[in-house]
Amino acid sequence: MIKEPQEAITAQEREREALARLAALLQAGAGVRYMDATGEISELPPSALAVLQRAVPHLIQGEEVEVFPAQTDLSTNEAADLLNVSRPYLIKLLEEGEIPYFMIGTHRRMHLTDVLEYQQKRAEQRRRGMEELVRLSEELGLYDNT
C-alpha cells in the first residue's frame, strides 16, 4: 500500500468537551457552518460532515482514528493487523476465497474495502451466533433473561 506517513489521531482529554459540543452540532446534520482564517463563514460540505460524524464519536471515547482513501490497497501484514489475525491465517482466508486479492509480482494485495467488508461480515456472523446461543440457553432453561 502506498500510504503517506501518518499517525493515528487521538484526542487529548482536554479536547473532549469541545468534541462533545462538536458532536452535538454534527448530529443536527446539514447546515453546519464554520469560519475560516479570513473570517468568511461557509457551510460544511456533506462529504466532510459525513467523515466528522463518523470520526468524532470515536475521538470522544478516547479511541484512535485513522482516515484512508477507500481505494487503499493493503499488504498481507497490514490486512492481518487490521483484522487482528495472524498473517498465515489471513493467507488461508485468501486462498479459500473469503477475501478477494490480487498479485503484484509475488506479493498478495487486498483492497481495504474488501477487508473491511469481510470484517463486517464476520462481526455479523458472530452476533447471530451469540443470539442463537442465548436462544438455545433460554430454551434449555440455562439462561435467565431477567
| pLDDT tens digits, one per residue of 70-109 | 788 999 999 999 999 999 999 999 999 999 999 999 999 9
pLDDT band at 6 (very low <50, low <70, confident <90, very high): low
Using DSSP, state whether 10 is helix, strand or coil: coil
| pTM higher than the cut 0.75 | no
The neighbouring-strand residues paired with 73 are 111
Domain boundaries, the chain: 13-60, 73-139
Q: What is the CATH number of domain 73-139?
A: 1.10.1660
pLDDT tens for each residue of 37-57? 999 998 888 888 889 999 999
The pLDDT assigned to 67 comes to 83
Q: Among 65, 70, 24, 64, which Cα is nearest to 47's?
A: 70
pLDDT tens for each residue of 98-107? 999 999 999 9
Nearest-5° angle of CA 43, CA 14, CA 62? 85
- 77 vs 110: CA distance, rounded Å: 11
